[in-house]
Amino acid sequence: GMERRRAPAAPPRYGRRRFWDALYQREGAETREWLGGLSRFLPQLEPELRPGDRILVLGCGNSALSHDLYELGYTDVTSIDFSPACIAAMRARYARCPGLRWAVMDIRALAFPDASFDVVLEKGTLDVLMVEETDPWHVSPQAAAAMRRVLAEVSRVLRPGGCFISITFAQPHFRKPHYAQEAFGWSLRHAACGDGDAAAFHYFLYVMRKGQPLDPRDAALGRRLHQPPPPPAPPPPPAPLDDDEDYLFTIQL
């Protein structure tokens, strides 16, 4: 008979809810740490936290981060993810921890009132917004807009004096311009983290403190992100939508 030619495997669609739901259903309650466990960055993180803090974890996935914080005495932790399968698994796993709350939510549209958290924490979640980007020097307008929308929501739900902590592989040169927007009303600093091994993969911890001024040099970096505007491209023909178009990043303009 005729040989069926196999299509090349598509890259994982990290932006699609279906991808994550399938992953969490397959793995069940196995934890997965995208950037290492809490112990790796606790020295940089702990000075920013106080025991009574109301903490929001963005894109918790099936990381043990929220529970590790709980065990350390930070007992008011709300964790959100856009995968219902993930949230159901985590809620069941940590049912015995009443201070851990779980909610299915889109990080671009947080269903919390203004100023409702002392700390917002993310580890590797914002990296997913950039996963389709091929050139870190020239971020697509779509990715920049998605990032801006999430960060505006983070700024909104932070109380004055609260902080946003972002743990990521993204180097300051590429990530700081997104964070250094005066509209968000926060200061910005970063520290490199690693295992003390020079060959180790380093990652970065960014701390944004609401209500503190941006360093003028960072503000200048932030202004450069949005200029010069690229020449307008002709609009592509509308693609037929299938029910898989449940993008995290389809920006509603």
pLDDT in tens, 115-161: 999 999 999 999 988 888 888 778 899 999 999 999 999 999 999 99
pLDDT of residue 93: 94
Place of tokens 């491209």: 233
pLDDT of residue 253: 44
Q: State yes or no: pLDDT of 205 exceeds 90.
A: yes
Least confident of 83-92, 133-142, 209-218: 133-142
Higher pLDDT, 15 or 225: 225
pLDDT of residue 251: 45
- What domain range includes position 208? 32-225
> 103 pLDDT band (50/70/90 cuts)?
very high
pLDDT of residue 248: 47
CB neighbours of residue 74 within 10 Å: 21
pLDDT of residue 167: 93
Question: Residue 1: inside a domain, yes or no?
Answer: no
pLDDT of residue 158: 98
Q: State yes or no: pLDDT of 105 exceeds 90.
A: yes
Question: Residue 237: inside a domain, yes or no?
Answer: no
Question: Residue 231: inside a domain, yes or no?
Answer: no
pLDDT digits (tens, 9 = 90+) for 149-196: 999 999 999 999 999 999 998 989 899 999 999 999 999 999 988 655
CA distances (Å), origin 104, targets 69, 79, 90, 93, 131: 20, 9, 11, 16, 22
Question: Model-level pTM?
Answer: 0.77
pLDDT of residue 43: 87
Question: Residue 4: inside a domain, yes or no?
Answer: no
Question: Residue 44: inside a domain, yes or no?
Answer: yes
Residue 114 burial (CB < 10 Å; 0-12/13-18/19+)?
exposed
- DSSP assignment of 30-74, as one string? ----TT--GGGTHHHHGGG--TT--EEEES-TT-SHHHHHHHTT-
Residue 131 to residue 136: CA distance in whole angstroms? 10
Q: State yes or no: pLDDT of 249 exceeds 70.
A: no
Question: Residue 140: inside a domain, yes or no?
Answer: yes
**Side chain identity at residue 188, one-letter code:** L
CB neighbours of residue 22 within 10 Å: 14
Question: Residue 91: inside a domain, yes or no?
Answer: yes
- C-alpha 7: how far from chain center: 32
Angle at 111 between CA 105 and CA 113, to 5 degrees: 150
Place of tokens 């360093």: 215
Q: What is the CATH number of the domain that holds 138?
A: 3.40.50.150
Question: Residue 24: inside a domain, yes or no?
Answer: no
Place of tokens 């990043």: 249
Q: How is residue 150 written in tokens?
A: 């999430």
pLDDT of residue 195: 59
Which secondary-structure segment (H or E) carries 104? strand 100-104
The terminus-to-terminus CA distance of the chain in angstroms comes to: 50
CA distances (Å), origin 195, targets 33, 67, 225: 16, 22, 32
CA distances (Å), origin 47, targets 17, 71, 79, 149, 180: 34, 17, 21, 28, 22
pLDDT of residue 20: 60
For residue 172, is the peptide bond before it cis, meaning its omega torsion is within 30 degrees of 0? no
| Domains: count for the chain | 1
Which secondary-structure segment (H or E) carries 19? helix 17-27
Phi, psi for 91 (deg, rounded to 5)? -60, -40
What is the pLDDT of the chain when averaged over all its residues?
83
